[in-house]
Structure 1
Amino acid sequence: MTTTAPPATARATRPPIRHRHWLRTGWVMTASGWSANQFSALLGAYRADLGLTGATTTALFGVYVLGLIPGLFLGGPAADRRGRRPVVLAALALSALATVLLMAGSAVTGLLWPGRFLTGIGAGALLSAGSAWIKELSSPPYDIHSTAGAAARRSGLFLSAGFATGGLVAALIAQWAPAPMITAYLPHLALSATAALLAARTPETARTPEAARTPETARTGHRGAARTPDTPATAPATTRPEPASGPAFRRLVAPVAPWVFVAPSIALATLPGLVDAGLTGWQTVYAGIVTAVTPGAGLLIAPLARRLAARHRIATAVAGLAAVIAGLLLAAFAVARIRPDAALLAAAVLGAGYGLCVAYGLTEVAALAPPDGLARLTARFWALCYLGFCTPYAITLLTGLFAPATVLLAMVVPAAATLALIARRGTRRCADGGARPTA
């Protein structure tokens, strides 16, 4: 019996293979979140075991931002110019070096400062390059099945997963493992190595000046990825006019961005130390639970963020800021009554606000950015977000003059003002015919 090959028309109608390259890149975002939050869960341990003051540990928490800002603004343009993969691999190596310095800080506390600073640089570069990489891998020709907003949700979910698990794992190890200030950091080294191996196998997506001069890019339109017949080389250059991205970013994204991390930074660095007086011996575990609950709530709120975005482009931001306000009110109550259970609930609500705000911001950035400036605009967004990490230090300074609960209540005022501002601007833009985001 002889068999005949299926006709060409039959082969052509087969559904295309669904590649999930973005899954491999997602671990880069997880490594970034893990590196940031593994230290947060150990703040109480540093105070108890190394005798560091509350002001010192809060400053160490905030110095991360000093490294993160240049990491974002150097990593974003470098990723657009050199490519996503080399920037990601270099940032993972730097992040691993920073973790080694934090491990050595248990013996030489002065090393904690450069360790936290380099953690910020590495995390910033990973955020800007990784977010842009996921965005491009969630679009044709790499992923022809993704829906609008998928890239923003994927970046936010992987980042939140790193935030949630990094703090909890570090806290559990610090509670029961030997040499906790060293062993608590070992999982991040393993995660960084895994993320680097996966990134090395992921297609490069950036149209870099170097790639434009290579014969391969001339044939494919992408470095390391063939261009399909129905995906012309000029396709990504369509959609939105570049000049509109700057004003729209300043009006619709910039006011919301700092609240992305104002909410979780208060939950992680401020609340545990103000309510754990009655948890003798369990402060580190409690802090670890808070670090898991806060971004965990951000993960769980993702389906709601998707439904809100489908209704109205600013609905996600409005809901996120409303959650931040509710979380601040609950946090003030928990601190005033010294209630760890209420503080845990406040952390969950603040985490939901974080999840909604970050989903809104990433979706807007993906919609506004020109094709050759995605990493740059992403870096600007994350830089504004991480200004919120300075909030715990500001609260520490203000508590010398006011009660902590009063300071938390006072923060409701600017949060409510931001909500009113973004609601008015977003409603006016949509009424004027502003395009909906299409990540």
Structure 2
Amino acid sequence: MVPPQPRRKGIVLRTTTAHWFPVASALLLVGWGANQFASLLAFYQQQHGFSQLAVTSMLGIYVAGLIPALLLGGRLSDALGRKPATFAALAMTVVASGAMVFGPWAPTMLFVGRFLAGIATGVAMAAGSSWVKELSQPPWDERAGHNSGARRASLFTTAGFWLGPVVSGLLANYAPAPEILPYLFHIVLCLPLMLLLAKVPDVVASAPAATTPNIASHYAYPDGGRRFWRVVAPGAPWVFGSGTLGFAVVPALLTGLGDHVLLYSTAAVALTLGAGVAVQALARRVDSERSAAATLTAISTTVVGLLIALMTALTQFAWLGLLASTLLGAGYGLILVAGLSETQRLSSSRALGRNSGQFYVLAYAGFLAPTIWAFAAQWFEPLQLLLAVLGLGVVSLLTIAVNSQKFLPARALSSTGESA
């Protein structure tokens, strides 16, 4: 007997909505590979005699691969398709982990692995997040909301950034072969995903030519670029700026931790990154194409976190520091979803990868926050630096608030009765 029509539709719907999941999982595992090294820094120093300069340089060379990949990876995916770019990023993170297996005996391989991990992360974030967005809308996903793509991409990316160092740290401390097992475990997770990713349709490559917009402008409407630079760009550096301040600067504000400094720093990392993952469901509720409500909520959360960090420095209450780290982590997660959602709404379909890469470059500028803090600390007290950072946060908040309802797309303007 032929099944009734509604049942057949339900089966098709469940099949198509699964397409975004392997792509988002690729973002998770590439993010995992990017951060798994962070938990092993002390191990390489203690067990293999690596200098502080060596391990810091290994962190730095990651950025040397990341930034060009963010700028070029999205553009290549716009031209050649999301699938080859994302697949190449997943394959490269496997090669990076494979190279780092040999690090203790050939330290050059750690540099090679970190550089490749940076390239993989940049390409995946620019191309993969665009692919997730395109697969999170009709006809691929009939049930997705207007910001489901951005929320899924940011959730899986931040989950990877969090899981990588947590799992590698646990394996290094409690499992055999700590120099090898964390990387092999990552490779084992990636290989079957490559088979699943090969079956996902490439939306850009399969899009009919008639539906392709003119990309003389990289934005979906004439004022899209002005909105990007006045609303998205002022908030973007606070993505990783908030996160790194939460786990790299806040613990340093407390001077009486003694032997508990390592435990406290670990807790700060866990709370910052964990809050960044957990809070992202809130961004879906406050995001709107008629304003910058999600971004304003995110920056406000970061400003409150900075205020509590200031109170931590004044009172030296350790629990206040953990609260500050949690709020800064929440700001990090909210700004990532809000900024990526806005960027995706502003972008033409053929320039989505390019604009996503541009957003992430601005976001990664926030990684410089601890370095700038350490450099400025030679002349300024922590309280002075906190007040300066807090002032920058307020300026960003006011800039976005002033432009919140300007340069909107026509459909949003018509629903609010405003004009550009």
The interval holding the TM-score normalised by the smaller chain is 0.7 to 0.9
Q: Does residue 144 of the first structure (1) align with residue 123 of the second (2)?
A: no
Distance in 2, matches of 1:340 and 1:190, equals 39
Distance in 1, matches of 2:6 and 2:376, equals 67
Q: How does 1:251-330 map to 2 (within 5 A)?
A: 251-271=230-250, 278=257, 280=259, 283=262, 287-310=265-288, 313-330=291-308
Distance in 1, matches of 2:409 and 2:79, equals 37
Give the letter for the 2:286 counterpart. L
Unaligned runs of 5+ in 2: 416-420
Q: How does 1:177-192 map to 2 (within 5 A)?
A: 177-192=175-190
| Contact map agreement 1:168 1:288 (CA 8 A) in 2 | no
Distance in 2, matches of 1:382 and 1:121, equals 13
Distance in 1, matches of 2:52 and 2:378, equals 12
Q: How does 1:87-98 map to 2 (within 5 A)?
A: 87-98=85-96
Give the letter for the 1:387 counterpart. A
Structure 1 stretch displaced more, 87-96 or 330-339: 330-339
| Contact map agreement 1:46 1:52 (CA 8 A) in 2 | yes
3-state DSSP class of the match of 1:104?
A: coil
Distance in 2, matches of 1:308 and 1:28, equals 27
Deviation at 1:429, TM superposition (A): 4.1
Aligned to 2:363: 385
| Contact map agreement 1:41 1:291 (CA 8 A) in 2 | no
Give the letter for the 2:195 counterpart. L
Identical positions, percent: 35
- 1:104-153 per-residue CA deviation (whole Å, 9 max, x = no partner) reads 33344454433322211110001111111101111122112211111111
Q: Does residue 249 of the first structure (1) align with residue 240 of the second (2)?
A: no
Give the letter for the 1:40 counterpart. A
Aligned partner (choices 114, 119, 122) of residue 120 of structure 2: 122
Structure 1 stretch displaced more, 391-400 or 64-73: 391-400
Distance in 2, matches of 1:192 and 1:355, equals 25
Aligned to 1:352: 330
| Contact map agreement 1:65 1:387 (CA 8 A) in 2 | no
Deviation at 1:175, TM superposition (A): 2.7
Distance in 2, matches of 1:340 and 1:113, equals 36
3-state DSSP class of the match of 1:255?
A: helix
Give the letter for the 1:249 counterpart. F
Distance in 1, matches of 2:354 and 2:321, equals 37
Structure 1 stretch displaced more, 12-21 or 366-375: 12-21
Aligned to 2:200: 202
Is the alpha carbon distance of 1:203 and 1:47 closer, same or farther for their aligned partners in structure 2, counting shifts above 3 Å?
same
Give the letter for the 2:141 counterpart. D
Deviation at 1:346, TM superposition (A): 2.2
- 1:24-47 per-residue CA deviation (whole Å, 9 max, x = no partner) reads 111011013212322333344455
| Contact map agreement 1:25 1:199 (CA 8 A) in 2 | yes
Distance in 2, matches of 1:114 and 1:368, equals 36
Aligned to 2:418: none
Structure 1 stretch displaced more, 311-320 or 48-57: 48-57
| Contact map agreement 1:322 1:419 (CA 8 A) in 2 | yes
Give the root-mean-square deviation of aligned CA atoms: 3.3
Q: How does 1:155-174 map to 2 (within 5 A)?
A: 155-174=153-172
3-state DSSP class of the match of 1:180?
A: coil
Distance in 2, matches of 1:27 and 1:163, equals 12
| Contact map agreement 2:30 2:89 (CA 8 A) in 1 | no
3-state DSSP class of the match of 1:144?
A: coil
| Contact map agreement 2:90 2:124 (CA 8 A) in 1 | yes
Give the letter for the 1:369 counterpart. S
Distance in 2, matches of 1:82 and 1:241, equals 20
Aligned to 1:68: 66
Could you tell me the TM-score, scaled by structure 1's length?
Answer: 0.81
Give the letter for the 1:329 counterpart. L
Distance in 2, matches of 1:83 and 1:308, equals 32
Distance in 2, matches of 1:109 and 1:333, equals 43
Aligned to 1:15: 9
Distance in 1, matches of 2:289 and 2:347, equals 22
| Contact map agreement 1:167 1:288 (CA 8 A) in 2 | no
Aligned to 2:380: 402
Distance in 2, matches of 1:51 and 1:404, equals 32
Q: Does residue 78 of the first structure (1) align with residue 76 of the second (2)?
A: yes
3-state DSSP class of the match of 1:15?
A: helix
Is the alpha carbon distance of 1:381 and 1:28 closer, same or farther for their aligned partners in structure 2, counting shifts above 3 Å?
same
Deviation at 1:62, TM superposition (A): 4.1
Unaligned runs of 5+ in 1: 208-216, 223-232
Deviation at 1:173, TM superposition (A): 2.2
- 1:373-394 per-residue CA deviation (whole Å, 9 max, x = no partner) reads 1111111111111111122222
